Amino acid sequence: MPDTWEALEHDCKNCRECSLWETRTNVVFGVGNQNAEVLFIGEGPGANEDAQGEPFVGRAGHLLDDMLEIIGLKRDDVYIANIVKCRPPENRDPLGVEQEACIGYLRRQAALLRPKIIVCLGRIAAMRIIKPDFKITREHGQWFEKNGFQMMAVYHPAALLRDPRRRPESFEDFKGLQQKINERAHPCRFLMQIAYFSVLCPAKFLHKWCFLDKNAIDGHFCVCYITTILFERTWSLSDEDCCKQRCISLLLLLLLLL
Ligand code: URA
């Protein structure tokens, strides 16, 4: 049977695979948009997250929200999860055995989400997801390609709270993320804009002198516009509906070209 978010959340919330279940208040499963292109991965819940059952809700979480806002994203645009879903006591780093026991849930989350971009928040997530010898001070902001995902790591927001001198570097890393999202998203928007500005827009203004049919131009303009919106909407979707919507967009595009 194919996996579902409900089944995964149920399994995760009842997990007793390592000893962290004994001290947890809540399992912190993950939050965000289940169609998101970008998956953020932290190391594990802290005290606030354990109390509320949601990742990154403390001071570090607010800083993460601010960084997202700077590049035009909201929490609802991305998905946020952790390597381990239960709070390690005293906020210590999650142990290898704990990460090993929990990583299957993150793998299932990634399989359901199928993100294009993964951003590791801090050293622990980067060492687990990108490579075991990851050096956060040297390699933050660099892009890696692994298993078909584009990945990078940024400083953990809690590290930025402890050492604000690192914020400008982190700001650059988030700008790099914004650029990557723009590069990967909606390559068709560009084509549509070229079509619009080079052909339809001049035609709209010149129709009087060139004896072109204004209604036909308006019709073409509408098709062009709708196609652009449909392409943009479906580009980031990962479910099967998206396939149907892309077919409709292609049909519309063909109509436009006729
Ligand atoms: N730090 C993390 O790595 N994850 C959280 O959810 C909160 C703080």
AA letter at 129: I
Structure confidence by residue, pLDDT tens digits, 84-139? 999 999 999 999 999 999 999 999 999 999 999 999 999 999 999 999 999 999 99
- Rounded to the nearest 5 degrees, what angle is found at the Cα of 80, between the Cα atoms of 85 and 126? 75
CA-CA distances (angstroms) from residue 22 to 10, 19, 54, 90, 141? 18, 6, 18, 14, 36
Q: Which atom of ligand 1 is nearest to the CA of 121?
A: 3
Q: How far is the CA of 21 from the centre of ligand 1 (A)?
A: 17
Residue 211: the pLDDT is 61
Question: Residue 238's pLDDT is what?
Answer: 43
Pocket of ligand 1 (CB under 6 A): 28, 42-46, 49, 55-56, 60, 82, 121
- pLDDT at res. 236: 47
* CA distance linking residue 250 with residue 228, whole number of Å: 10
Tally the C-alpha atoms within 13 A of residue 84's C-alpha that lie toward its C-beta. 28
For 145, list phi and psi in degrees, rounded to 5. Answer: -110, 125
Q: Say if residue 35's pLDDT is above 80.
A: yes
Testing ligand 1's pocket by substitution, the residue of 54, 59, 78, 82 carrying the most ligand atoms inside 8 A of its CB is: 82
Percent of the chain that is helix, strand, coil (3-state, to 5) = 60, 10, 30
pLDDT band of 1, cuts 50, 70, 90: confident
Among the listed residues 215, 212, 213, 220, the one whose alpha carbon sits nearest the alpha carbon of residue 196: 220
pLDDT in tens, 247-258: 777 777 677 666
d(CA 56, ligand 1 centre) in Å: 5
Ligand 1 probe mutation, 31, 40, 49, most atoms within 8 A of CB: 49
Report whether 80 contacts 42 (CB < 8 A).
yes
Closest CA to 21 of 114, 84, 105: 84
Long-range contacts, 19-22 (Cβ 8 Å, 24+): 19/98, 20/84, 20/86, 20/87, 20/88, 20/94, 20/98, 21/86
Q: CA–CA separation, 100 vs 121, rounded Å?
A: 18
pLDDT band at 237 (very low <50, low <70, confident <90, very high): very low
Nearest-angstrom CA–CA distance, 8 and 237: 20
User: How much of the chain exceeds pLDDT 90, in percent?
Assistant: 69
The pLDDT of residue 169? 97
Q: What is the pLDDT of residues 142-192, one digit of tens each?
A: 999 999 999 999 999 999 999 999 999 999 999 999 999 998 765 555 566
